[in-house]
Structure 1
Amino acid sequence: MALKLVEEQAPAGYERLVYIEDEEAGLRAFVCVHSTVLGPAVGGCRMWNYATLDEARTDVLRLAAGMTNKNAMAGLGLGGGKSVIIGDPRSDKTEALFRAFGRAIESFGGSYYTAEDVGISPEDMANVAKETAYAVGLDHGAHASGDPSPFTAEGVFQCLKVGAKAVFGTDDLAGRRVLVQGLGHVGWSLAEKLHAAGAELVVSDVNAEAVEKARASLGAEVCPPGEIFAQQMDVFAPCALGGILTHETVAQLTARLVCGAANNQLLEPSVAEDLLARDCLYLPDYVVNAGGIISVAGEVHHAGPEYRADRLVQIAGRVAQIVETSRKERKTTIQVADDIVADILAKAAKVEALAV
Structure 2
Amino acid sequence: MFEKIKVEGHEQLVFWLDKLANLRAIIAIHDTTLGPAIGGVRLLRYDSEEDAICDALLLSKAMTYKASAVGVNFGGGQAVIMKPDVPIESDALWWSFGRFVNSLGGRFIASEDVGTSVEDIEKALRETKFVVGLSHALGGGGDPGPVSAHGVYSGLKACVQKALGDTSLSGIKVAIQGLGHVGYALARELKVAGCRVYACDIDSRKSQVAGENLGLEIVDPQKIFDVDAEVFSPCALGGVINEDFIERMNFKIIAGSANNQLADDRLGKVLQDRGIIYAPDFIIGAGGLINVYNEIEGYDQARALSQAGKIYDKIKQILEFSEQTGVPTLEAAMIIARQRLDRVRKVRGLI
TM-score (norm 1): 0.91
Q: In the alignment, what sits opposite 2:290?
A: 294
Q: Secondary structure at the match of 1:353?
A: coil
Whether the 8 Å contact between 2:318 and 2:333 is mirrored in structure 1 is yes
Deviations 1:38-78 (A, max 9, x none): 11001111122222211111111100000000011111111
Distance 2:37 2:329 in 1: 25
Q: CA deviation at 1:189?
A: 0.8
Identity %: 35
Whether the 8 Å contact between 1:235 and 1:257 is mirrored in structure 2 is yes
Whether the 8 Å contact between 2:147 and 2:304 is mirrored in structure 1 is no
Distance 2:10 2:297 in 1: 24
Instruction: Tell me the amino acid that sits aligned with residue 228 of structure 2.
Output: Q
Q: In the alignment, what sits opposite 2:251?
A: 255
Distance 1:350 1:231 in 2: 48
Distance 2:281 2:335 in 1: 15
Instruction: Tell me the amino acid that sits aligned with residue 123 of structure 1.
Output: E
Q: In the alignment, what sits opposite 1:3?
A: none
* 2:33 paired with 1:37: yes
Q: CA deviation at 1:194?
A: 1.5
| Gaps in structure 1 of 5+ consecutive residues | 1-6
Q: 1:329 to 1:83 in 2, by over 3 A?
A: same
Q: In the alignment, what sits opposite 1:210?
A: 206
Q: In the alignment, what sits opposite 1:345?
A: 341
Distance 2:19 2:191 in 1: 45
Q: 1:216 to 1:313 in 2, by over 3 A?
A: closer
2:276 alignment partner, one of 260, 277, 280: 280
Q: 1:220 to 1:309 in 2, by over 3 A?
A: closer
1:121 alignment partner, one of 95, 117, 121: 117
Distance 2:286 2:251 in 1: 23
Distance 2:88 2:293 in 1: 29
* 2:101 paired with 1:105: yes
Distance 1:235 1:324 in 2: 19
Distance 1:203 1:237 in 2: 9
Instruction: Tell me the amino acid that sits aligned with residue 11 of structure 1.
Output: I
Q: Secondary structure at the match of 1:115?
A: strand
2:5 alignment partner, one of 2, 11, 14: 11
Whether the 8 Å contact between 1:122 and 1:139 is mirrored in structure 2 is yes
Distance 1:145 1:243 in 2: 29
Q: In the alignment, what sits opposite 1:63?
A: 59
Q: In the alignment, what sits opposite 2:218?
A: 222
1:234 alignment partner, one of 230, 234, 237: 230
| Gaps in structure 2 of 5+ consecutive residues | none
Q: 1:319 to 1:93 in 2, by over 3 A?
A: farther
Distance 1:224 1:305 in 2: 34
Whether the 8 Å contact between 1:116 and 1:148 is mirrored in structure 2 is no
Deviations 1:168-213 (A, max 9, x none): 2223223222111111111111111112222221112110101111
Q: Tell me the matched-pair count.
A: 348
1:73 alignment partner, one of 65, 69, 72: 69
Q: In the alignment, what sits opposite 2:192?
A: 196
Q: In the alignment, what sits opposite 1:176?
A: 172
Whether the 8 Å contact between 1:10 and 1:16 is mirrored in structure 2 is no
Distance 2:264 2:200 in 1: 23
Distance 2:75 2:24 in 1: 24
Q: In the alignment, what sits opposite 2:16?
A: 20
Tell me whether 63-72 or 171-180 shows the greater mean CA deviation: 171-180
Q: In the alignment, what sits opposite 2:142?
A: 146
Instruction: Tell me the amino acid that sits aligned with residue 227 of structure 1.
Output: K
1:133 alignment partner, one of 129, 134, 140: 129
* 2:151 paired with 1:155: yes
Distance 1:93 1:220 in 2: 37
Instruction: Tell me the amino acid that sits aligned with residue 23 of structure 1.
Output: K
Distance 2:302 2:168 in 1: 28
CA RMSD, Structure 1 to Structure 2 (Å): 2.2
Whether the 8 Å contact between 1:173 and 1:199 is mirrored in structure 2 is yes
Distance 1:245 1:338 in 2: 18
Q: 1:81 to 1:234 in 2, by over 3 A?
A: same
Q: In the alignment, what sits opposite 1:269?
A: 265
Q: Secondary structure at the match of 2:207?
A: helix
